Amino acid sequence: MSITAQAATPASPPATGLTSAEVDQRRRDGLTNDVPERASRSVREIVRANIFTRINAILGVLFILVLATGSIIDGMFGLLIVANSAIGIFQEVRAKKTLDQLAIVGQAQPMVRREGKAQAVAPQEVVLDDIIELGPGDQIVVDGEVIEAELLEVDESLLTGEADPIDKSVGAPVMSGSFVVSGSGAYRATKVGKDAYAAKLADEASKFTLVNSELRNGINTILKVITYLLIPAGLLSIYNQLVSSGESWRPAVNGMVAALVPMVPEGLVLMTSIAFAVGVVRLGRRQCLVQELPAIEGLARVDVVCADKTGTLTENGMRLGEIRPVDGDSVGAALALNGESGSGAGGSQDLRQVLAALAANDPRPNASVLAIAEALPDNPGWRTSGVAPFSSAKKWSGFSFGEHGNWLLGAPDVLLDSNSDIASTAQEIGAQGLRVLLLASSDRPVDAADAPGAVTPAALVVLEQRIRPDAQDTLEYFASQHVATKVISGDNAVSVGAVASSLGLTGGAHAVDARQLPSDQGELADVLENETVFGRVRPDQKRAMVGALQSRGHTVAMTGDGVNDVLALKDADIGVAMGSGSPATRSVAQIVLLDNKFATLPYVVGEGRRVIGNIERVSNLFLTKTVYSVVLAFLVGIAGVGSQIFHYEAIGYPFLPRHVTIAAWFTIGIPAFILSLAPNNERARTGFVKRVMRLAIPSGLVIGIMTFISYLMSYQGPDATETQKVQAGTTALITLLIIAVWVLAIVARPWVWWKVLLVAGSVVGYLVLFALPFTREFFKLDPTNAAFTTWACILGAIGIVLVEVAWYISARLQGETPHLLPTSPGEKP
């Protein structure tokens, strides 16, 4: 809980802030906090980035070469330039709009004092000299100087790396990007906009980017390798077509372009962008703000979720259940909130006044104080003479009320002797899943250096917590997906354990008190591997626990909503904040659940798995095409060079550009688009490049070699008639398509009905192209030579067997058991 001071009577009246006229003048003078609302690219930048790409440049040059030959039909691949750019622009603009709209909802709004009244404004509306009020959890949005301070402590670890909070008195500077840990106050804005230290967290948090993405880095690595292969393969193809083949320049250029176009994995980057963008939009519909795009990928890899209790497993709202006064004999009987009681009612009534005074003097009450204030609204009007704000480290807060005494409100197991009867009673109550606070008096002012001093217990304050109705289903989902859940809370360990047990979480019966945890990271990691529920965890311990889990190779997601969660959220692989949480938590989290529903997290994890798993699948298709194109180009090119050396008949490239275009239609293009958006619940793993290449390289080699053999068997020499050339190219194409469709079938595994239809649809599509006279004429296909077509099918069947063997061996090398069908009803391929 968090009790902060209401300012004692100041020596001079507090600053009333700027007037409306002064604010307008500063706006006209440009003295505003004119930082962009988001760091995302503008629409113009999106358009430019999607049009002027390296792949579009390569395809554009090849398209111009084909047009120069007069064969417009063979330039159909040029439509890829338009399609890639248009789809990429549409999806990224759509994702940008979704993120921008959600960012406005989740934006931290500072309380600015103008003309004596505090009002919430957007960070961009802050002007120079504005007076900005501060309370626990508030983020400091611009640089300034403190003008009011009541035990104000600021955490600057996000800027300096120093985790210890810093006391801020009047006149002390504060910097944007830091946040308030405890106390209250106000500061005057001295630097705004570009002159400020820069609110880097808010600026970078919502950027639509793929930076630090293992998937993106892997694809870039693959593209670099492909680029290096393209150079020799391209030069060899150019030499063979223009020099060795002996063909006229038009068919030679067409053959060269046909060889080079399929080497470019034009759809791989596009499909990756589409999958991420669609993921962002889907999550946005569930009121989930993805502030950093790699978070989708990161959550797909998560194997440990660290969840806070309050606000995550339980709802933020609480209700004051009862007040148990302490008399000289025992812990008194429960006192009903309507004041009806037997003997001792008068003393209990005094305690109710104390609680009412504590709640009324908190200008920024949290859920616990709000529950007390709601039940005890009658403020006795006592004046404060001392204040001790709550902090997560000491677990108590208090007010000194002069002649009415010094009063503390905090954790019983912190303020009391653990062997006392009252502490035992508090433990028993907490074991029922209730939250228990101790109301106690102190023999010295609460703001004394040696406070709290001698503590005299007065009453136990029992608060009822409501467990989120969707919490159990969420925990069961994570368990079914082999994602471990660790409950890490600052509350009493027994109380946290009771809540965890009620949700069916193992380990709740023996919750660990974090005060007993070892400080050594290795020993701490050992405890975390074996235990599930932890209570009385300090903010620095939460951070250490995240680090200890990461040291054992875990990918950790941390959820939280309070200021005490900030450090752990920042260090976790994925920080997830509740929309109702403090501005500081929302600013450091990669994902914000704006609807405050813990149950949204499984959808986020599922979306991440869908994106990553499907991109890996379609990558197999695109890279297989690149490999077999390079292999075929090398084989044809080497044969051409050999013809110059050994003086045998040279061969040209077997395909026209239109052939490689239709080859990609039903083996890659349409299936890849569908597969990239399909359900996929497999947890992402490291080693993306290695896994993809284990299938793509052998499959590409088989297709390239079998296609080359098929072409050699049907090639009639450079003097062959046009019909014979078309038949030879068709024969090679049939072999290629048979094996390529089977690679699609492998990538689609495990099979379900719609995937079977997808593969069958690809087969039907090609049968139609080969069967209809119009399409055969249009695409220059001639399968009428029965001998050649039979050989093409036989070589295709051999290729299927070889690819199947390669797939099986690849799966075994990865420690997997290959499956044609889903292995369990719960599997969602």
Q: Give, as one character, the DSSP assignment of residue 446.
A: T
Alpha-carbon Rg of the chain, whole angstroms? Answer: 34
Q: Cβ(59)–Cβ(77) under 8 Å?
A: yes
Could you list the active site residues? 308
Give the DSSP H/E element, type plus range, for residue 400: strand 396-400
Other residues' Cβ atoms within 10 Å of the Cβ of residue 463: 19
- Name residue 435's beta-bridge partners: 463
- Longest CA span, the chain: 118
Which residue's entry shows tokens 């009790």?
A: 3
Strand runs labelled E in 544-693: 556-560, 574-578, 591-593
The 3-state DSSP class for residue 360 equals helix
CA 230/CA 54 separation, integer angstroms: 13
Question: What are the DSSP calls for 121-164, one per residue?
Answer: --GGG-BTT-EEEE-TT-B--SEEEEEEEEEEEEE-HHHH---S
CA 640/CA 346 separation, integer angstroms: 106
For 264-278, give the secondary structure using H, E and C. CCHHHHHHHHHHHHH
CA 667/CA 625 separation, integer angstroms: 9
Q: Which residues of 583-606 are buried (b: 16+ CB within 10 A; e: fewer)?
A: bbbbbbbbbbbbebbbbbbbbbbb
Q: Which residues of 384-402 are buried (b: 16+ CB within 10 A; e: fewer)?
A: bbbbbbbbbebbbbbbbbe
Residue type, 298: G
CA 587/CA 568 separation, integer angstroms: 13
Q: Give, as one character, the DSSP assignment of residue 513.
A: E
Contacts of 65 (CB under 8 A, 6+ apart): 253, 256, 257
Q: Cβ(408)–Cβ(455) under 8 Å?
A: yes
Other residues' Cβ atoms within 10 Å of the Cβ of residue 710: 28
